[in-house]
Amino acid sequence: NAGVTQTPKFQVLKTGQSMTLQCAQDMNHNSMYWYRQDPGMGLRLIYYSASEGTTDKGEVPNGYNVSRLNKREFSLRLESAAPSQTSVYFCASSINRNTGELFFGEGSRLTVL
Amino acid sequence: SQQGEEDPQALSIQEGENATMNCSYKTSINNLQWYRQNSGRGLVHLILIRSNEREKHSGRLRVTLDTSKKSSSLLITASRAADTASYFCATDASGGSYIPTFGRGTSLIVHP
Task: Give the count of beta carbons closer than 10 Å to the beta carbon of residue B57.
Answer: 11
Contacts of A107 in chain B (CB under 8 A): 40-42
Angstrom distance (rounded) from CA A23 to CA A74: 5
All residues at 6 or more sequence positions from B79 whose CB lies less than 8 Å from its CB, including other chains: B13, B14, B15, B16, B17, B18, B19, B108, B110
- Residue A66 belongs to what H/E stretch? strand A64-68
- Residue B107 belongs to what H/E stretch? strand B106-111
Residue B25 has pLDDT above 80, yes or no: yes
- What's the pLDDT score for residue A1? 65
Angstrom distance (rounded) from CA A88 to CA A106: 10
* CB pair distance less than 8 Å for B102 and A35: yes
A interface with B, Cβ–Cβ below 8 Å: 4, 33, 35, 40-45, 48, 56, 58-59, 90, 92, 97-98, 100-107
Question: Among A7-16, A59-68, A87-96, B4-13, which stretch is predicted with the lowest mean pLDDT?
Answer: B4-13
Q: What is the mean pLDDT of residues B12-24?
A: 97
- What's the pLDDT score for residue B92? 87
Q: Which of A108, A88, A99 is nearest to A31 (CA)?
A: A99
Strand partners, A57: A47
Angstrom distance (rounded) from CA A11 to CA A25: 21
| pLDDT tens readout for residues A18-77 | 999 999 999 999 999 999 999 878 899 999 999 999 999 999 999 999 999 899 999 999
Residue A101 has pLDDT above 80, yes or no: yes
CA angle A7, A73, A57 (to 5 degrees): 95
| pLDDT tens readout for residues B72-108 | 999 999 999 999 999 999 998 776 778 899 999 999 9
Strand partners, A110: A11, A87
Choose the closest CB to B99 out of A4, A45, A101.
Answer: A45
Contacts of A43 in chain B (CB under 8 A): 43, 88, 102
- What's the pLDDT score for residue A100? 81
Angstrom distance (rounded) from CA A55 to CA B70: 30
* CB pair distance less than 8 Å for A101 and B33: yes
Q: What is the mean pLDDT of residues B52-74?
A: 97
* CB pair distance less than 8 Å for B98 and A106: no
